[in-house]
Structures are given as structure tokens and as C-alpha cells.
Structure 1
């Protein structure tokens, strides 16, 4: 496998040139990452990803680092991506730990959050974890996942002990393969349990399932 095939391919979506240049410079220093494009608004992001999906010869994207406050907001772009069924991983990068935006991004299936006030090392680590299929939530996001009052998730689903074990590992950010390794079951078995969990919790993605777990079992975070 050549080096380029192992790179985490990233698109930066932010309307602040200083943020874009700072992130690009930081990512360019990493041996396992590459910025394939930068965009200034959600419309440009959607157009780029649509073109990439339609033409495999165009640069493909593994992770979108998405600002919420840019024109054609990041939330609208995230919503449209999920409606399309786009499987690209999305890391929300924001300067504001705004509870309503966090709630909305969680419900729309964001894969993680990083604050612009965090260290460069933390930001790079968040990108890597999201690229690996992990969920990344800083403390502020976990707090809102625990305490937000208007969530529509069922309060008392009948989860089996094994389903709770799977959900506990998912809430730690582990992808399916690693959950299977921890629990000594196959990845297909993990997928089967997750399907049942989603149905019982009345959720549609890993992020919402993790939100339910934090709210129900980790109230002291």
C-alpha cells in the first residue's frame, strides 16, 4: 500500500481565513493526514462532496472539519449530508460551547466535537479518532448530552445486558471492530446488537445512542 492510500483525507470548512490557514499548517505537519480542499460555506462543502461521490477520480474525503457559524451554516450542511446518506465523518470545530448547537449537531449525527480553544495536539487527536470511526465528545458536549431536557429518546427501553455492554463501549467512542474485540464477539454481532439498540432507543445513529447512555448512566460527568 502506498503512502497516499493511508492518508486521512480532510476537507476544512470555515469562513475564517486565519482558522483555515492555521489548521492547514498544523495538518501539513502530520505524516498521516492531507488537506484535499478548503471551503468557506456549507454550499461549497456540499457541492465538493457531491462531485467527489459522483466521480471517483476526484479527491475523496474521509473527514470534514466543520465550523458551525459559517455562512449556509454548518448545521444545515450537516443535515443535508445526512439526508443524502453521505458516510463522511464530521468533526465539529467551534469557538462556542453553545448548548443548543451541540444538541442540534448531536441529533444530526455529528461524529465529534473539538473546541477552537483546545490545543493543536487535541485537535489533531480528535481528527484521528473520528477518522478511525470513534465518537469524540469533549466534557462540555457530554454535559449537554447528559442534561438536555428536550431529547426525544425513550426513557426506559428494555435493553439486554449484552446490549448495554455494547452501548457502554460505543459511548467510549469505540468503532464496531474494537467493540467486538473487547466483548469477544464478531463485528457482525456488534452490528446486530446496534440495530436492536437503535430500534429500542428510537434513535438513528451512534451519536444519539451515546447521548442516551450518557444521560441515563453517566449523570455525574
Structure 2
């Protein structure tokens, strides 16, 4: 990337924040912002032991008041907390034990590109959970699996697993332009903000 991605790091525990900031600050791909520069952030990283009430309030605030793309660096995350995080528009989850410098930077860059970053086992857990909800929850927009083509479902599933546009194009034997056009068509048709919103939306409704 030609410009550095401005990142705001949040943590109630100053030691947790300092650890992540220490990892990110030397890297030329990112710019770690001060608290006073919050409005400049393109990416927000919330560092917590678990998604508790305080973390949930922060995630909800970011969802309501900012345009940043949000990731969570977390020690413990159960199924309910994962679902709550996704409902708060969190599109990257990194376990603290796996939060190496390269992993953190890769997550920030993926978030800046509008891509989701979820460990494979967490994706499987979330999909199983929302799949159960599909049968008991009515979507006010009448969204069903038939709303999406098989090709769209496959692309959204790959997107939810953290693959970029070029990787999806290679895996599905399409041109990158075709992938971009199809994903744009999904977001436009469902009145969604972007690809990340599309992934979170269809996952919450059990469609992938």
C-alpha cells in the first residue's frame, strides 16, 4: 500500500494497549494514532480479554459513531461473544496468543481493504450458530438463500474466510473484475454499505 493505514487501538488495560501499539508502531504499513486523533482512524483494534459488557459498549459506540472497520484482539471468545461481535460490525478476530506483529499488520491491511479476518474454526462455529437461527428468525427484508445465486454464496463464503478479490478470482477461475462486479452487485441489491457489511449481514441471517 502506498499510504499508511491510520489505526486506533482501544484497551481498558493500558498494558494490553501498550503491547499492541509496540508491535504496530515500527511497521511502515500502519500509523498508530493517539486518542486525540480518533476521527482519523480507518481501522480500530479493540484489545480485550473477553467480549464483556464494557467491550460491547465500545463496539456499539464504534458501530454507531465511526466509519472505521473494526477488529478485536481477544483472549477468550465463545460462540455468543462471537455472534455479538459480528452484530457489532466486527470483521476481524485475532486470538491474543496468535497476535504476532505480522498477524496484526495483515489484519489491519485486510480490514482497510474491506476484507473479513476470522480463524477457520470460528467461522465454522458462527455459521453453525446462525444456520440454526435461520429457521426461527424472519428477515424484515424477506432475504432468503434463493436471493443469492450459488456463485454469490461461494464468493461471500470465501470473503468471510479472509480471501481477497484476487484469491477468490483464482479459486473460482474468474477474472478479478468479474469478482468485483458480482460482489458489488450483491451489496447494491441488498442495500448494504460494502463487502464487509454484506458478509456480516448474510452470516447473521444464516445464508452462508
Q: Could you state the TM-score of these two structures normalised by the residue count of structure 1?
A: 0.69
Structure 1 residue 131 corresponds to structure 2 residue 112: yes
How far is the alpha carbon of 1:15 from its aligned partner?
1.5
Greater CA drift, 107-116 or 154-163:
154-163
How far is the alpha carbon of 1:197 from its aligned partner?
5.3
Q: Is the 8 A contact 1:166 1:193 kept in 2?
A: no
Say which of 168, 180, 195 aligns to 2:157. Answer: 168
How far is the alpha carbon of 1:156 from its aligned partner?
5.1
Aligned residues: 190
Structure 1 residue 192 corresponds to structure 2 residue 185: yes
Greater CA drift, 116-125 or 17-26:
116-125
Distance 2:179 2:78 in 1: 38
Q: Could you state the TM-score of these two structures normalised by the residue count of structure 2?
A: 0.72
Distance 1:99 1:71 in 2: 13
Q: Is the 8 A contact 2:29 2:105 kept in 1?
A: no
Say which of 3, 8, 17 aligns to 1:6. Answer: 3
The residue aligned with 2:82 is 102
The residue aligned with 2:128 is 147
How far is the alpha carbon of 1:131 from its aligned partner?
1.9
Distance 2:181 2:73 in 1: 32
Unaligned runs of 5+ in 2: none
Greater CA drift, 143-152 or 86-95:
143-152
Residues 97/73 of structure 1: CA separation in 2 closer, same or farther (3 Å cut): same
Greater CA drift, 67-76 or 91-100:
67-76
Distance 2:31 2:124 in 1: 32
**RMSD (Å) for aligned C-alpha atoms:** 3.4
